[in-house]
Amino acid sequence: FAELSQTARSFTQLFSPNGNLLHPFQGLDASSFHVVRGWDDTDLRFVTPRVVLALCSHLEALGHPFDLSIADVQTQDSLLAAIKRLCIFMAEKDDAVKDSVCQLSIGGSMPDAGVDSSLTLTTGSLEDEILSSLAIKPTHALVEDLFHKKQMSIAAEIGDAVSEMSISSLTKEKSRLGSKEHLAQRVEDLKRAADSPMTHEVTVTTNLGAARISGEWYRDYGRHLTNDQLALVLSGLDVEFSDRHLTVVVSKVAKQPKKVVDTVTSMYGRNDHRIKNVVIKDPNRMIGFDTLKQGLARAGRDGLTAVVTGVIDDHLLQLFRPGSKTSIPSMDQIINSSAPPSARFESIRILSTNILADVFVQEELHRFKTSAHFGLSPVPTCVAYDESLSYSGDAAIPSPL
């Protein structure tokens, strides 16, 4: 694009987990198509140039050509305006045309954005997601073998240095490795290292990253972990686990992640400008439209990449339907109102049961219930809302996810 947009930093091409190209109209039908009239620039960013061209070809084949000019594709902003016109143009057609648009499949393979520019967000177990993403899990046997090889490597270096000293002494020539004194000091240093296995360091490499650990770390922490726990902390990822002990253990590991895997609720701490591909997995079916858009917006934040990719579960396309938007703005109005705390909590409870579950709605609800309004300390943990709970004095706190 000739210039940067002031409203959408990049377009996001959607794909299914199996690599099929998706577009937001696939979540609609003729009866719900009217929702496109109200789509803003953030919604329109999911209608990429590839989708626009496919829609124009499809409409022309149906006898409804759409006027798209060179001027419409000069900048992001002009293209967004053209997409808005296209949406209204299609919304004015009969139900048969609208249904055909919603059922339109567009061919195309997902580009390789590179592992180091990928972010995976999940509403499920972070631990399970990491374990399933590991091509080969680090094991105790692997770690112990690495330390054994490290010990053997030091022993081999000692042997080479001693041999070099002997040859230098016999030939009366200076060794290529340095003076006699230098070699003697090197042998002493290597022997001290060999006698101090707790200081030895090895690197465990996975498809997700690399983790560097010492013998002392393995003695104090690693040896006491289960196989799955060890695989998690040595994955190379920089994450915090629900298990506080694992979080402490992994914090003492030197990590070099190749990609990012985290929970949806942690997305705001993942604003890496290198990210060009976001994978959103929603096994718990918690995500609402606001969360979906915010999650996908983690990609393309460099302001330079014209089109990024987003991989979503098929059911998330339904969030483009009318009535699926979350109620965060409405919640703010309720929380900041002058109504009694019990009345405000009940309003939030009713509101939350009338919208698609959204992790940020649940988090806001929990923070409100545990705020100073009720004389409790805030608990900054995302929770699952239990409709059976009702406010009565000091509200019961739902169980953390």
| Residue-by-residue pLDDT tens, the chain, 401 positions | 334 444 446 899 999 999 999 999 999 999 999 999 999 999 999 999 999 999 999 999 999 999 999 999 998 899 999 999 999 999 999 999 999 999 999 998 887 655 557 899 999 999 999 999 999 999 999 999 999 999 998 888 888 777 777 766 655 555 555 566 677 777 788 888 888 889 999 999 999 999 999 999 999 999 999 999 999 999 999 999 989 999 999 999 999 999 999 998 888 777 778 888 999 999 988 888 888 998 998 888 777 788 999 999 999 999 999 987 554 555 555 556 666 666 655 555 544 544 444 555 555 555 555 444 444 333 333 333 333 333 233 333 333 33
Distance between CA atoms of residues 385 and 382, nearest Å: 9
Q: If you compute the radius of gyration of the chain from its CA atoms, what whole number of angstroms results?
A: 29
Cα(383)–Cα(358) distance, integer angstroms: 11
| CA gap 302, 204 in Å, rounded | 31
Amino acid at 309: T
pLDDT reported for residue 356: 42
pLDDT at residue 337 in the model: 66
Strand partners of residue 348: none
d(CA 326, CA 324): 6
pLDDT value of residue 384: 37
pLDDT at 177: 54
- In angstroms, the CA 246 to CA 251 distance is 8
Question: Strands 209-214 and 260-263, how do they pair?
Answer: unpaired
- pTM exceeds cut of 0.85: no
Residue 368 neighbours by CB under 8 Å, 6+ apart: 335, 344, 345, 348
- What pLDDT does 306 receive? 87
Q: Cα dist. 261→58, 128, 206 in Å?
A: 38, 11, 14
SS3 136: coil
Give 179: exposed, middle or buried? Use CB within 10 Å, 0-12, 13-18, 19+: exposed
CA–CA dist 109, 18 (Å, integer): 10
Residue 368 token pair: 């409100």
Structure tokens at 23: 């577009």
Angle (CA) 200-203-206 rounded to 5° is 160
Phi, psi at residue 87, to the nearest 5°?
-60, -45
Q: In this structure, what are the phi and psi dihedrals at residue 75, rounded to the nearest 5 degrees?
A: -140, 170
Task: Go through the chain and tell me how many residues it has.
Answer: 401
- Is the distance from CB of 366 to CB of 379 less than 8 angstroms? yes
pLDDT of residue 386: 34
Closest by Cα among 23, 39, 81 to 312:
23
- pLDDT of res. 325: 54
pLDDT for res 192:
84
